[in-house]
A and B are shown apart, each in its own frame.
Chain A
Amino acid sequence: MTETPKRPKSNSRLIALCVNGEWHEVTVKPRHMLVEVLREMIGLTGTKDGCEQGTCGACTVLLDERPVLSCMTLAADCDGRQLRTVEGLAEGEKLSVLQQAFLDQGAVQCGFCTPGMLLSATALLERTPKPTTDEIKKALEGNLCRCTGYNAIVAAVLQASDQGVTPLMK
């Protein structure tokens, strides 16, 4: 029989995250990023990882209601805090007003940027209920989309904020 290898030293620690209103206890290492913990440990794969460098915005989630890049946020720093991900936007089968507006405007193509876009826009609408086009563009500046050309997404945010934009798809 071969010798049992030595048990590795561990610098893991147990943290608790309140994700979409539900507490999760997870064991993380200091280097673990929030995106990995959400996707791989908690199983919420709706948050997307597009660059791991904080440059594309696909991994945007809300940390204490503020948008953060989960690929640049250490999971350990989120201990005890509130998180909202794309999975927490709808109420059961009922889409949020913003989700419905994305559907109505044709603001989704491949959908890989969509979760991050929805969370950046949700945060915007919570602090600015009637944003101007420029405010919307500014709020979405850090979220890249390669499919739609953005204007449909801007229109969706305008529709969701009840500014006279009507659905284009039904």
Chain B
Amino acid sequence: MSPYKNQVGQSIPKVDVREKVTGRAAYIADLSRPGMLHGAVLQSPYAHARIKGYDTSKALAVPGVRCVLTGADFTEHFMGAFIKDEGPIAIGKVRYVGEPVAVVAADDERTARRAARLIEVEYEELPAVLTPEEALAPGAPLVHEDLASYVKVFDAKFEGNAFSCTDLSEGDVDKAFAECDVVVEGTYETQAQYHLSLEPCGALAEVDANGRVHLWSANQSVFRVQANVCESLGLPMSKLHSMTPKVGAGFGNKMEAHIQPLVVALALKVQRPVKMILSREEDFEMVRARHPFKIRIRTGARKDGTLLAREVETLLDGGAYADDSPGVLGYSLLMARGPYTIPNTRCFGRVVYTNKMRFGAFRGFGNGQVAFAGEQQIDEIAHRLGIDPLEMRLRNAMRIEEPWFGGQQVNSNGLAECLEKVREKSGWGRRARPSRPGVKVGYGVAACAHISGLLATSAIVRMLEDGSFVLSTGATDIGQGSDTVLTQICADALKVTVDNVVCATPDTDGSPYNWGTTASRVTYTTGRAVAGAAEDVGRQIKEAAAKMLNCPVGDVELRDGGFIGVKGSNTTLPYAAVAGFTHWASGGPIVGSKSLIYDAPTIDPRRAVAIGLPFTRIGVFSFNALVVEVEIDEVTGKATVARAWSAVDVGKAINPRLVEGQIEGGIVQGLGFALTEEMVWDGGRLANPTLMDYKAPGAVDVPYEINSIIVEHPEPDGPFGAKGVGEISLVSVPAAVANAIFDAAGVRLHKLPMTPERVLTAMLGAD
């Protein structure tokens, strides 16, 4: 037998990888139940219209159609993570093109889809607001007339179509700007990005004889599914059993509800299992996307490069429903200072209803948008002052003991090391720009921080009769590998190998509460709960062993490989013996648990003023620095990233290869955001809801070299020092690419994506 190795810090293959490479992993579309029907949805053709009536007779006459539901079949119940403004279906009026107005359940999917198209809806078209500016204009039609009466989970500031307005400031900004030697100012625009989880959203619901609903769905949290379905249908939570199959990625689009409430409503109505899987087009049109931002930003510094002041104003298109928008707005402002010491910063932002699909959480959560603006300004100042842009960032990098913007204590900060690492590995100091005929080459750098944390989580570890363990957390692994990482944490804490721990599938009946797989939080927050629960189990194992060995608890210890040892002696007991003793003789089966909520305050009122901030306790900070080498084709304007170096301070890499996987994947999704991806509307209609017309990076579009560099500044209360890595590597990509484009071609792009046309136009203008 090979000697036991610590499980944390090993690149152990994902616990579900064999299922996934053999095709046995079951995703929502792969599930079926006896007697199952298939659902389909009718979408609104109008951006804004009153619903005058429905005629479902033609649809119901189609053989094989079992049920049709329209807005008339629902009573008004509302869901929403921050503002309860959304029902399960359009009721009374439609607010965007593509919004569900009716649903059908039929014997097969084709029949359901055909019947859905036969439902007649009478509309009275209303004037629509399609941009935040239109929505803010005096006298603009209101997307939600009842905003004032909606339940809000925070002290929201709202007016007209602006449903959340947030102010955040520190220091004396006006005075500081007056002291600056150089001030740069600009406006920036970012686009809507589609998540493009390879698996489209779907759900399957079944009602049992007691009226209890069993629901499987593609999700990032079985508990958010439970809350959203129950809130939007008026069901008690105990009536809904929410489960998860394997999930084909999320990136934010499966955190809040998609079609789960509608599928449950159909199943309740027909009393048969109903499955509905969205088509790719529907997934584009009716789930959610990354917020388009407009950003006005001003940054000032002294001659020596010391940053003194920043002012930021953001305007976000929120789409038709609030969803996670207040959070994205608030978080983007908290991140708008960047990871720098800028003692005087003032931010103000608004997020506005429009008659477009909802915008919500997407990897980066508003951080990538403000970084695109702010990180270009750091470069501009460095350029004006003749300071190397990487050196400029090092000089202004937050010191280790410094608090974050708003006043939160930062307990681990590897930013300077990240910058040093990318400087060294990319050969920044010796970087050549070997421009070939027709090709310009440039290097860009950007830095950022991102949180991991937020809200409640819990874990239960149970010892089985043979001394192995079951870990339950309720955290959905959306592909990033959290089941593996949490298993490693549990196994390591109990000094066994991962083969001795099984990670249970999330299930609201069987798992303890977990807010969700979002906010880069599972390794950090759920990991803490797992470590705590395992420690609790370890304590109980020692107590039982001490009883078995007739010695004080203080004399026994956990030993590598699943043994209890008596200190200072070779006497050991295998865990199996302890498990047998507790199951059959004394004490009872060992169950350990740990619950926690992230509770360090974000705002220190002595330092900062915050108004309308939707959350007050966000999480701990990971840091990142990124260098990219960009080539620009002078004929077409096409910018390509040839190489990238990304260093991320993750506290402790529980599974280094999975950490690198997050960094690599985030960079490539960030390249799509930076260079090619853009959802485009033609009036109120999304013009490119297909992968033919929406260009996400393919294998041939990605850099040959993506160098992931792991930096470890342990978070004092993180599990083994770990903090999050899920989102951060995406955040700095658009900014680093923009800075490299400037380095190569001397032009600054203020609008994403930086398409060949935009780059070329800028270059021609510069000439």
Which of A49, A106, A143 is close to B11, meaning CB atoms less than 8 Å apart? A106
Contact B248 A111 (CB under 8 A): yes
CB neighbours of B251 from chain A (8 A) = 146
CB neighbours of B12 from chain A (8 A) = 169-170
Contact of A159 with B by CB under 8 A: no
Question: Given A50-B200, A53-B691, A55-B691, are A108 and B14 also a contact pair (CB < 8 Å)?
Answer: yes
Contact B22 A110 (CB under 8 A): no
> Would you list which residues of chain B between 7 and 56 have a CB under 8 Å from chain A?
10-14, 16-27, 29-30
* Chain A proximity mask over B186-214: 1 for CB below 8 Å, otherwise 0: 00000000011111100000000000000
Which of A49, A115, A151 is close to B706, meaning CB atoms less than 8 Å apart? A151
CB neighbours of B696 from chain A (8 A) = 144, 146
Contact of A62 with B by CB under 8 A: no
Contact A51 B700 (CB under 8 A): no
Question: Given A5-B63, A95-B18, are A170 and B11 also a contact pair (CB < 8 Å)?
Answer: yes
Contact of B478 with A by CB under 8 A: yes
Question: Given A56-B691, A95-B21, A149-B702, are A112 and B658 also a contact pair (CB < 8 Å)?
Answer: no
Contact A114 B196 (CB under 8 A): no
Q: Is the interface of B mostly helix, strand, loop or mixed?
A: loop
CB neighbours of A137 from chain B (8 A) = 699-700
State A99–B200 Cα separation when bound (angstroms). Answer: 24
Contact B198 A146 (CB under 8 A): yes
Contact A111 B669 (CB under 8 A): no
Q: Which residue of chain B lies nearest to A99 when distances are taken between CB atoms in the complex?
A: B21
CB neighbours of B678 from chain A (8 A) = none
> Would you list which residues of chain A between 36 and 52 have a CB under 8 Å from chain B?
39, 44-52
Measured CB to CB, the closest approach of chain A to B672, in angstroms, equals 9
CB neighbours of B11 from chain A (8 A) = 106, 168-170
Measured CB to CB, the closest approach of chain A to B121, in angstroms, equals 25
Contact of A163 with B by CB under 8 A: no
Contact B199 A110 (CB under 8 A): yes
Contact of B246 with A by CB under 8 A: yes
Binds A, one of B339-347, B423-431, B660-668: B660-668
> Would you list which residues of chain A between 125 and 149 have a CB under 8 Å from chain B?
133, 136-138, 140-149
Contact B692 A55 (CB under 8 A): yes
Contact B248 A150 (CB under 8 A): no
Contact of B373 with A by CB under 8 A: no
Contact B249 A110 (CB under 8 A): yes
State A89–B18 Cα separation when bound (angstroms). Answer: 12
State A91–B517 Cα separation when bound (angstroms). Answer: 35
Contact of B657 with A by CB under 8 A: yes
CB neighbours of B16 from chain A (8 A) = 111
Measured CB to CB, the closest approach of chain B to A120, in angstroms, equals 10
Contact of B704 with A by CB under 8 A: yes
CB neighbours of B661 from chain A (8 A) = 106, 109, 147-148, 152
Question: Given A140-B699, A149-B665, are A52 and B279 also a contact pair (CB < 8 Å)?
Answer: yes
CB neighbours of B668 from chain A (8 A) = 148-150
> Would you list which residues of chain B between 468 and 483 have a CB under 8 Å from chain A?
478-481
Contact A144 B198 (CB under 8 A): yes
Question: Given A146-B251, A148-B664, are A110 and B280 also a contact pair (CB < 8 Å)?
Answer: no
Question: Given A48-B27, A110-B199, A111-B479, are A53 and B22 also a contact pair (CB < 8 Å)?
Answer: no
Contact of B690 with A by CB under 8 A: yes
Contact B21 A102 (CB under 8 A): yes
CB neighbours of A138 from chain B (8 A) = 699-700
Contact B699 A111 (CB under 8 A): no
Q: Size range of the interface on A?
A: 35 or more
CB neighbours of B198 from chain A (8 A) = 48, 50, 56, 58, 110, 112-113, 144-147
Question: Given A111-B25, A115-B23, are A169 and B249 also a contact pair (CB < 8 Å)?
Answer: no
Q: Size range of the interface on B?
A: 35 or more
CB neighbours of B289 from chain A (8 A) = none
Contact of A87 with B by CB under 8 A: yes
Q: Which residue of chain A lies nearest to B655 when distances are taken between CB atoms in the complex?
A: A169
Contact of A19 with B by CB under 8 A: no
Contact of A85 with B by CB under 8 A: yes
Contact of A154 with B by CB under 8 A: yes
Residue from A39, A44, A109, A152 with most neighbouring chain B CB atoms (10 Å): A109
Contact of A63 with B by CB under 8 A: no
Contact of A118 with B by CB under 8 A: yes
Q: Which residue of chain B lies nearest to A86 when distances are taken between CB atoms in the complex?
A: B23
State A114–B276 Cα separation when bound (angstroms). Answer: 23
Contact B706 A149 (CB under 8 A): yes
Contact A50 B199 (CB under 8 A): yes
Residue from B21, B22, B248, B480 with most neighbouring chain A CB atoms (10 Å): B21
Contact of A103 with B by CB under 8 A: yes
Contact A89 B196 (CB under 8 A): no
State A79–B25 Cα separation when bound (angstroms). Answer: 28
Q: Which residue of chain B lies nearest to A153 when distances are taken between CB atoms in the complex?
A: B699
Contact of B698 with A by CB under 8 A: yes
* Chain A proximity mask over B145-177: 1 for CB below 8 Å, otherwise 0: 000000000000000000000000000000000
State A143–B702 Cα separation when bound (angstroms). Answer: 13
Contact of A165 with B by CB under 8 A: no
Measured CB to CB, the closest approach of chain A to B316, in angstroms, equals 24
Contact of B112 with A by CB under 8 A: no
CB neighbours of A168 from chain B (8 A) = 11, 657
Question: Given A44-B23, A111-B25, A150-B699, are A106 and B658 also a contact pair (CB < 8 Å)?
Answer: yes
Contact B479 A147 (CB under 8 A): yes
* Chain B proximity mask over A80-122: 1 for CB below 8 Å, otherwise 0: 0000011101100001000100111010111111110010000
Q: Which residue of chain B lies nearest to A31 when distances are taken between CB atoms in the complex?
A: B110
Contact of B534 with A by CB under 8 A: no
Contact of B247 with A by CB under 8 A: yes
Q: Which residue of chain A lies nearest to B246 when distances are taken between CB atoms in the complex?
A: A111
Measured CB to CB, the closest approach of chain A to B540, in angstroms, equals 32
Q: Which residue of chain B lies nearest to A58 when distances are taken between CB atoms in the complex?
A: B198
Measured CB to CB, the closest approach of chain B to A111, in angstroms, equals 3
Contact B17 A108 (CB under 8 A): yes
State A149–B63 Cα separation when bound (angstroms). Answer: 46
Q: Which residue of chain B lies nearest to A114 when distances are taken between CB atoms in the complex?
A: B20
Which of B22, B26, B249, B667 is close to A87, meaning CB atoms less than 8 Å apart? B22
Which of B200, B665, B703 is close to A148, meaning CB atoms less than 8 Å apart? B665
Q: Which residue of chain A lies nearest to B663 when distances are taken between CB atoms in the complex?
A: A149
CB neighbours of A87 from chain B (8 A) = 22-24
Of all A-B residue pairs in the complex, the 4 with the closest CB atoms, nearest first, are: A46-B23, A110-B479, A111-B20, A112-B248
A-B contacts, 29 of them at CB < 8 A, read A44-B23, A45-B30, A46-B22, A48-B199, A51-B200, A51-B690, A53-B280, A58-B198, A86-B21, A87-B23, A104-B13, A109-B479, A109-B480, A109-B481, A110-B197, A111-B17, A112-B248, A112-B479, A133-B704, A141-B699, A144-B196, A147-B665, A149-B669, A149-B702, A150-B699, A151-B706, A152-B664, A168-B657, A169-B657
Binding site for A on B (CB under 8 A): 10-14, 16-27, 29-30, 63, 195-200, 246-249, 251, 279-280, 478-481, 657-658, 660-661, 664-669, 690-692, 696-700, 702-704, 706
- 18 more A-B residue pairs beyond the given contacts A53-B692, A90-B21, A144-B196, with a C-beta to C-beta distance below 8 A: A45-B29, A48-B248, A50-B198, A56-B198, A86-B21, A103-B21, A109-B481, A110-B246, A113-B198, A137-B700, A138-B699, A141-B700, A143-B698, A146-B198, A147-B665, A148-B664, A149-B665, A153-B699
